[in-house]
Amino acid sequence: MKKPFMLTMAAASLGGFALFSPTSASADDKVDFAKQILPIFEAKCMKCHETEHTDDTGRIKKPKSGLVMDTAEGLKKGGKEHKEKTLVAGKAADSALYTMTTLPITDEMVMPPEGKADPLTDAEKELLKKWIDQGADFGTWTKWEKKK
């Protein structure tokens, strides 16, 4: 009686592994900024929150709200509106970087704003929350290298 039960449990356990991709993470896995968070920022944030630069037309582009998201230093410093509350390591609920992504899509303060980029998915929001709650560790990353 014990062997069939054990075989069934083993088969169920192995089958469970197929449900998860190699990149899925459990609640205890450390979020890797460069591999998991930076791609979200590249797709959803950098268009408006890049270090001041001259664009292809020769116009000077400044980061919206003074928030520079293409450097670790800029993210830690924060923007004009939220300053030290932009990114509060260990506290996603206190970090505007996270809370502004969770506002209703109709809220004028939601990030990214309508028309600029697609809203963060629920999975992206959870990953961002987890990264901040884990201490917002940038690892060795210091600056974004824009892809040309």
Asked, for residue 115, whether it belongs to a domain, the answer is: yes
Asked, for residue 111, whether it belongs to a domain, the answer is: yes
Asked, for residue 147, whether it belongs to a domain, the answer is: no
Asked, for residue 19, whether it belongs to a domain, the answer is: no
Number of domains in the chain: 1
Furthest C-alpha separation in the chain: 77
Predicted TM-score (pTM) of this structure: 0.79
What is the pLDDT at residue 83? 84
Asked, for residue 13, whether it belongs to a domain, the answer is: no
Asked, for residue 2, whether it belongs to a domain, the answer is: no
- Domain containing 103 equals 31-133
Asked, for residue 15, whether it belongs to a domain, the answer is: no
Asked, for residue 17, whether it belongs to a domain, the answer is: no
pLDDT digits (tens), the chain, 148 positions? 444 444 333 333 434 333 333 344 455 799 999 999 999 999 999 999 999 999 999 999 999 999 999 999 999 999 998 888 999 999 999 999 999 999 999 999 999 999 899 999 999 999 999 999 999 999 999 999 887 6
Q: Which two tokens stand for residue 73?
A: 């230093």
- Choose among 106, 102, 107: nearest CA to 125: 102
